[in-house]
Structure 1
């Protein structure tokens, strides 16, 4: 792939275009073009590098190998159901026996069927997996529905019992005063609080972004000007951004500041409900170093010498001159 970078660089020079002019015409960032021309493809995943190479080759009319374009993944064909096997597994009802009621003179058809043991049904070797999953999902949905209905029923019944509490009445001036205290605890108040974070990126330049939600699911996207994409999580996001300043990032409709200098690549930006920080940033930053220097200067500052306020008196008083005898 280094050969194609040299071809792109040669074609750009022959067309008398600078890297900035080629970036303005193809909407590909300058550092991406420089990386492709130098053969360094580590700035972005291969699928995006190949897309940018294809865009540059089409604009500069440079021939490129079709192998460089990621082929479409061939989806495996779904297996068709064998209708004959399914029909053979379904038990057929026996013959219908007509019964005549002498009193009403009406014929009723009673279909004699046999009860199927579910354990034997699941143990069959030829039972299709799709049918097994369908039965299990139906049973799970029924159990969940019954649990929700039961919870709602008991929740409302407990609310109705404790909805009002009547305190003892005080008689003042022949008037009965009754105090009623209502409890407005609703079963659905639990769902009023938001239980998730929402991260939105609105691109006004071509960017590459990777979002890890709660440390479980990873989503990578290549956004072009005018595109918008959102992600959700319960606790936090870890964001890698290929072009700082190329998009505006929102957390629950709150605009976040830039993660670094415009046009640079940042990684491991952790976004929670209250904080935005780099989890691998060095702890000894400039602010802490300056604060530590001020504290050390205050500790090592010498104490000024002050004048003493204590008055000293001679230990033995001197005799007066007129009392001296020679």
Structure 2
């Protein structure tokens, strides 16, 4: 573990504690095992593959009310060994009742200006919570208004030849996953008409999942409790699960018997004939890479 990663972990912990947010609260909100959250704050980032660790840091930052984008950016810099100065605490100059020589007063004034300059340069630090929160609120409100206008013109004033399905696809161009949402909250990805395999996933609690359809990544995110997702493929699925005991699967509407218990990290290879499962081992602290 590098010094930059240690420093990054300490900053996360100190700012979480400053906001009076407990690790148990974050664990309850994200359904992430608290031992992984503790590993993040201890700088033990080798305990999991980077793919999982990055996803956990993202959820940690979100529930701790941090700037998620800036946290991930700083994590990437820390992995490369790049460090940034922490926020400097501004200091107040106390007025002295004793008369000082002119030269000493001038030196004090120069020191004050220098400190103010340093504080201003550090004001763009990672955790500008209040300012970022207000900006996010205003931007979100503006986005909702703009989206409402776009939807109005697409559905009520658009060309009559445009169908509801096409409009939905236009609104989801910013997402790498193509899906359609049905009334029972079931999502269908990789929409190919002649696919021979259909995989359905259901989460019993919030769980992180990555799905590859014919070696093409079609989903990588958390699935909420009781949420159903459906994917299509021609030959094969590869599924990675952050908590194997919290997911159930069906292939072509037939339940799959998949190994895995709660808390296990597992990867599955699924085709028309077989289901292969691999346990992703989590190294202990003594086994972690130097």
Counting helix residues as a fraction of each chain, which structure ranks higher? 2
The TM-score normalised by the length of structure 2 is: 0.42
Find the structure with the greater CA-based Rg.
1
**Relative contact order higher in (CA < 8 Å, ≥ 6 apart):** 2
